[in-house]
Every structure is written in structure tokens, then in C-alpha cells.
Structure 1
């Protein structure tokens, strides 16, 4: 069904992917794993005949049937000014119209295929795709910004299922999803396998890989360094890089004494546009230098709570205070004390400017640094998060999702904030890079007294960073405890 031979991708004279070859039969699953920037996404896009600007692809890709793509960051492919249901219906109607045209060209009788009937068929396709993606139909009337990261992921999965593809390339499909939704995604992919759909998973989620993959290919610096049956690669790895990747796992942190409360949220009520309730009287506090993790199912209100704290979502009522003083409503003034690292790092960067320039601009805009001072500080922070100057000097489209996530963290830290809001910031990172980022955040807490508000579904990350855990359920804070 899918055969790849000698795949190579180059940009600016540098090999992004070098000599990748594999075969994949119907109903089988291949997982590509490896560090951010190892070439997984470039390989996945090449399977669909796509590539980032400035990338040259050579080699051979043969595919019987059609392929669909589920991106790592769903908001990058969702239209922010259109309701998600209308976009799905437009895609479905286009497919129905094209199928009708092909049948007419073949001389197949058109039995009542009026425009109204085609629209009805398209609506039925959307409902079925939403069902298969576990997307509640009542969410189809919302705009992308009114959906959680997990809900957005289900929208793009539904869109991928509309053309009934032979192959689905899924780039980090469980990113930002809670354990229950993650289990549902895995179960849905199993059903797709049973229907004969082949899957190419690009993932750092080794538990999902173990649950789904027939074969695993480990990529490092654009090359496949190890491949074979999933059980063999994951249980008895031969390559040193694979062993290090599998061994990296966050260790729980030791308990620390809590200081005075720095961030206080009292009786916070928030809604989506149109009045849909999101938060219902949420109250919580975070001591200076501590980390509060907010966990809960996708759609429970975690990201809305974080955005309210950062001034990106205006609540209906309630107060948010820092050191006992209400935070200013003006976003520029609040950003000096509260910085937000988004789950979808790509959407937070200007696509037409170099990443390094955008990171350095933070120090100029918020701290009054000179351009020379800002450049030096940006270079130092980017190096600490694992990005070299050459990589950061490119535009966002030339960086992987994990590389952009590290750049976004450096950009936020350059503001020297008192509170850092981290929304699923490790979800796009491999285990080795994740360990380095978590270690850096711990250092900053210890050395600078940085206070963290962590939004995460990864309980290993929660255990590694959090002093306290708050659980949101349908907009209500149900309990709070130490991890």
C-alpha cells in the first residue's frame, strides 16, 4: 500500500531527512519516534507530497489510494473566523460533488443526486466523521478558539476521516489530551486498523506507540538509526540513542515548604462567546516560587483559567491578584509579570520573521533592553533550552514543533516574569529534551523564585514539577492536593 525508498529532504544545503526507506501494508501501523527536529514531520509530510517552504524532496513515495494528515497543532489548520462544523460540511460537500462528477464522467446513473441531496449526504458524512473522532456534535457550532486543545485535535481527526483515506499520517495525535480521550483516540485508531487503514504515527508518546504500532523506526538527525517490530525496538533496543530515549522519564520532585501566596484567584466566572459557561466560581492560590498544576479532562476549563490569569480571556466576574493587588487589565502591563507559553507554539509566532528576532523582541518591548542587550540575552536563553543560533535564525516554518516550543519558552523567560503559565509545554517534546526543560524550570524556580501555573495531562510531568494539584471538572475546582 505504501512504499518509501531513499527519501531525502534538504534545506539550505542541510539534510533534514537522509535515506529513509520503509514499506507499510494495509491495516498496519508504523511509528516514527525520535527527538524534535529529527525529521519525523518532514517525513510524514513527504508521504502526502507536501513539504515546508524551501525544502527539496527527492526519493520515491508510492501510495495506493489517498492519504490524510492529522497535524500536531490543530489550530494551525483551523480557520479562526469560521465555525468548525461549517468547515467540515464544506469539505464533505466538495467530496460529494467531486464523487458525483467522477460518476457522471464514467456514465454511472445519478439517482436523485440533486444539490439538496448532495448537501444531505455531506451532512451525514460530517456526523459520521464526528462520531468516529469522538467529537460531540454540539461542538460543531463553535469557533476554534472556543475549543480546548483536545477538542481541536478531534476536529482535525474528523476532517481527516472525511475522504475515507487509505493511509493516515498522525503527527502527535495525543498531544494535549487527557487520559480518557487519549485512550479513546487509541481505540479509534485500532478500529481504523481493523477497517484496513494504514497509520503512520509521528509521536513522543511511547505508551501509545506500544499500544498501536506493529513496527517502530527511531529517527535521529534525519536518519533511521534503528527499526524493527515494536516489541523488539521498545523492549530490547540496540542503538544507544534508542536506549537513552526510552530511559528518560521525569522523576518526582521532593516536597518543598510553601511560602506566602503570590497569585490568588477568587470566585472566577468565565464564559465563551455566546454565553456558554466555562468556569463556575473557581478559587485557588499559588505561593511564591511554587508550582500549581491544573489537571482535568479536555474541555474542563483548564486553558480558559490559564488565559484569564494571563489576561487573554476576560472573565465575567471574580478577581485575580498578584501580591494582593489586582492584576492590570492592560495586556502589555500584565505581561511584565505574567507570561504565557502556549500549547500550540507555532500559532504564537509571526510566520514571516526569524524566530531569534521574535524572542529577542520580548526584552526590548517589556524590559526596555537595547537591541544588543536583547540579542545577547536571547542567545543565552535559547542555548539553555537547547536551540543553536543557526536554527533560531530561521523562520518558524523551518523549525519543528518541539523546537518552536523551546523557543516560546525562551521568549517568555526573557521577560523575567514573576508567574509563568505553561499550557502543555512538554507535549511536543521527546523525553530527552523534556527532561532538560523540566530541569531548567526547576532551576529557575530555585534561583529566581519563579512561580508556575502548569496545565498538563502528563502526570509524570505534574509529579516532576508540581507542589500542589488542582482538578477542574466542568468548570469547577473539585479538589486540591499535593502530587
Structure 2
């Protein structure tokens, strides 16, 4: 192995401009990536990891610039190269696997055309040779029926398939370095594992180095040779992965370790008392959808479970498993094809307009994306007050008191009530969404992937908040997630759905330790961060408090 790093960054400084002022976001960052090595940049949103990666490949946004430092690729200084010179090495020497496969592919070009484009840009092959190479690449990244996929368009492929296409583009010219920017954050856990396995296989085959940008410490723990931990644009520590995880030097790294559910032990939750009454009962639930051209598709098939009052029931499964359809039926947003649903005293399948309105007060939803679920034109006060205007004819002063009380209960200061969502962080926005759901004093809160869009530390804060609110208010939660690590931390009971069917059901620890289906075992085995022993990580959690 050569002594020359594929990537060598020294004292990198990056800033962004806003009018005449500039804000430094990367401060004197230095690290290297050796041939065939995987180095993970780990940190929360705003840590500077993506700006560092974008600086390497010359893709900083228009108001971003490199203020100082050195970036060497295969020993050659590239930090001052112009766009023309950088374009010549993108794909050929350094490639990017972007985060969101849905927005990274051109919707009006076929898959084949988009893979062929990288070959044509660098003028390596004739059209016929390029077409053959496209099929070879799609085959190589594990896509079935590669000739068909080459003719299809992005909307005809699943998220995992689209990410494989992006990997095919990234490896087309066998670059020396691949920058993988959160390459699996939008994917289900089993698809995530397959994509990361694929990147590993291709790295070993081609000898390619990988700079893995991630906020998921479990993924970094499993996949990286070395870790570089960033906070506020500064390196907190770096070193061999096993060494950093076993002996973290910085308080920030210890905090990340203690907050990561995929790395931590199962939460200690008291057992559900025998005889506690069921608040939610779902029996033999079924939902069919009509298909174009006739026929139907069964999205939910015979799902049954009960949820005891004051407990958390998780519904887990991959995209297409039927979990979102199930909760929409329970919340009264659509009528099922068959089955029984009772929530408290309501027969949900028989609700009419007047009773449905009363039912909606008892069941409230918190959605996945705190950036998209809040009206950007409203103040925080108006967002939380709105359900009271819709349901409760209360005097203005009493409404204001209810809003202030629930906002305080979710841990937000009253000074935020006059702000709009854009002025809040992701975690603060999700606290607003929770406050809006609770202001009507519901019995059941449905949390639809409510923490999946949050960084690990913010996620831990929201999960702790939900647990405290449940203890204080006696809330019953339906927690929808594809993340079994989070489910193990927060839930009492769980239903595992696969292709619309319930393949596992019971207390969380029973399902985790004695899964009834191969599918559940596959989900559990795909949880990242499993290679490091819990006892070691518990010591980190303890250390973070000292």
C-alpha cells in the first residue's frame, strides 16, 4: 500500500456568505484517507461534515468558499482549482453518492441515459460500448433485469433501486475516492444494510477509498476503519473506530455514544401490569386498493393487536409493509375493507361526521418531518392554538393559557411563541408538533416516524420527552417506525408487518429475543452498531455523565 493518502486535508476552513457578512462553518479541519480505507465523518446537523465533503469535490453552494487550508487528492493540491478542472476529475478520480436518491436522479431521463452520461462526459466509450457498459454496471450493483431497468425512469424504481443506480454512476469510472454523503439515511434498515454491503464489496474489488458522511454512529461503527468526530465545524477527536468507541476522549463523542439507540442496551421499561384495560383494539384489519385496469391489491391483511391504556405499541416494517395504511385507518382517515377497530368507546369503522369529529379530539397525530408539517406562515402560538379554534370554543384568554402551558410542558420557552418555524431547529419544531397534538388533551397519540428525521442527540431528547409526557399525562402511543433500535427503547409491545401481514406480535423483549419470523430476525440483524458490545457502550454512557 502506498504511503500517499488518496485524500489529505490540512487546516481546511470553509465559510458561507450572507450579504456582506460571512459565517465560518469549518475550522482548521485536518484528516486523511488512505487507499482502500473507509473514514467516517460523524456529527449532527451543522457540524460541518457535509460542507467538508462538498469542499473536497468542489460542490459548495454558491455562497460557500474555501477560506484556507489544503486539499490534496492523490498528492495533488486541488483546493484552488477552477470549475473546469474539477469537472474533469469528478467521476474519474472522485465520485459522490448523494443522500436522497429520489431528488438526485433526473425524472425525465431514463436510468440508462443517466448512467451512460458519466461515460460520455469523459469520452471513454462509443455509444454502443457505453450501452453495454451501462447494463454491466446495473448488473454489478445487483439490480434485477438490468436491460429493463436501463429503459425505466426513476419514478418506476424503489428507493433502494435508485440508490443502486447512484452507486453504479459513482463507480462507473473506478474512481480512487467515493464520497458517500448519508447514502442510506432515507432507506429502510434492511435495504440500508444491502446498500452498505454493496459499497463494501465494490470497495474491496476496486480498492476504492470511501469518505462516509453520516450522523448515524451505528453505521459508522460497523463500516468505518477510522472515525473523525465533528462538532460546530471543529474536530473533537479522530482515530481507529474501535479505539474511539472503546476510549472516547471528548465529552461530545461520549454524548453521541450514549444517545445512539442502535449502540445502547435495551431500555429498562417496567412490565405492563396484568389486567390493565385495552384502549385500542384492532381485529382482523384488512384494506384493499383498486388497481388501474381492474383488480385490487391487499395492503393490509388480517392485522390484529391490542394496546393497553398508558402504554406504547410500535408498528414496524419496511416501506410497503402496510404500517401507514394501518394507522390511517385507526385514526379514522379511511374506511377499512374489513375488520374491527375500537378506540376507547368509539367503533372507528362506524363513525359518522359528528362522532368522527369528537373522535378526532381523542386521537392526534405527530408526523415524521418537522420541516414540512408546520405552516411556515404561522407563528408558533398560532400553530399550537389552531386545534383549539377548530374544536374548543374557549375564551381567548383561556386558549392563550392552554397554549402557553402545553408549550412549556414540551420544554420550549414562552419567548418562542412569536417566532415562525424557520427560526427553530428540527428538534424545537418537533416539540411544537407534539404540543399541537397534545393541546386538545387526547388519549391516543399516533407518532408516524416522529424521530426518524432527527439527529441522534435530538432524537434522544424527543424520546425522553415522550416518555415523560406519557408518565405525566397517562398517554397511549402508537409508534410507527422502521427503526427497531428506537422501538426497543420506547415501546412496550410491537407488531411487525411484512407485505401487509403481521408476522410478529408481542412484548418488545419477547419479539427481540425470540422472533417468530425470519423477516423479524432479518430486521434485527440489520440494526447497525451491533458489532460492539453493550457493556463497553454502557461505560461510555456513564462516562458522559462524569
Match of 2:271 among 230, 255, 259: 255
Counterparts in 2 of 1:341 and 1:51: CA distance versus 1, 3 Å: farther
Distance 1:211 1:320, change over 3 A: same
Which residue of 10, 29, 37 corresponds with 1:28? 37
Cα displacement string for residues 234-279 of structure 1 (whole angstroms, at most 9, x for unaligned residues): 1111112212322344622111326322222232222456233321
Partner of 2:446: 421
Q: Matched residues in 1 for 2:26 and 2:290: separation? A: 44
Per the alignment, do residues 394 and 457 of structure 1 end up closer, same or farther by CA in structure 2, a change over 3 Å counting?
Answer: closer
Which string of whole-angstrom CA distances, capped at 9 and with x for unpartnered residues, describes residues 116-140 of structure 1? x95x8767755655629x9x97xx8
Residues 80-479 of structure 1 mapped to structure 2, 5 A cutoff: 87=107, 90-96=110-116, 99-100=119-120, 103=123, 110=126, 129=141, 131=143, 152=159, 154-165=160-171, 166=175, 167-171=178-182, 173=184, 177-178=188-189, 180-194=190-204, 195-248=206-259, 249=264, 251-257=267-273, 259-271=276-288, 274=291, 275-311=296-332, 315-327=336-348, 336-349=361-374, 353=377, 356=380, 359-360=383-384, 362-363=386-387, 366=390, 376=404, 380=408, 383-384=411-412, 389=416, 393=420, 395=422, 408-414=433-439, 416-479=441-504
User: Structure 1 residues 223, 271: closer, same or farther in 2, change over 3 A?
Assistant: farther
Match of 1:434, SS state, is: helix
CA contact (8 A) 1:359 1:410 kept: no
> What secondary structure, in the 3-state scheme, does the structure 1 residue paired with 2:286 have?
strand
What residue ranges of structure 1 are gaps of 5+ in the alignment?
80-85
8 Å contact kept, 2:13–2:24: no
Q: TM-score, normalised by structure 2?
A: 0.67
Cα separation, 2, equivalents of 1:389 and 1:101 = 50
Shift in Å at residue 321 of structure 1? Answer: 3.2
What is residue 70 of structure 1 aligned with on the other side? 98
Please tell me the root mean square deviation across aligned C-alpha atoms, in Å.
4.4
Tell me the TM-score normalised to structure 1 length: 0.75
Q: Is the 8 A contact 1:291 1:466 kept in 2?
A: yes
Provide closer, same or farther for how the CA distance between residues 425 and 6 of structure 1 changes in structure 2, counting only shifts above 3 A.
same
Residues 220 and 326 (structure 1), Cα distance of their counterparts in 2 relative to 1, 3 Å cut: same
Q: 1:47 to 1:466 in 2, by over 3 A?
A: same
- Contact kept, 8 Å, 1:160 with 1:168, in 2: the verdict is no
Cα distance in 2 between the residues matched to 1:391 and 1:14: 26
> Deviation of residue 292 (structure 1)?
0.7
CA separation in 1, counterparts of 2:240 and 2:489? 31
Structure 2: runs of 5+ lacking an equivalent:
1-5, 72-77, 79-85, 509-546
Task: Tell me, yes or no, if the aligned pair for 1:342 and 1:425 is still in contact at 8 Å.
Answer: yes
Find the aligned partners of 2:308 and 2:182 in 1 and give their Cα distance. 37
Larger Rg: 2
Q: Secondary structure at the match of 1:281?
A: strand
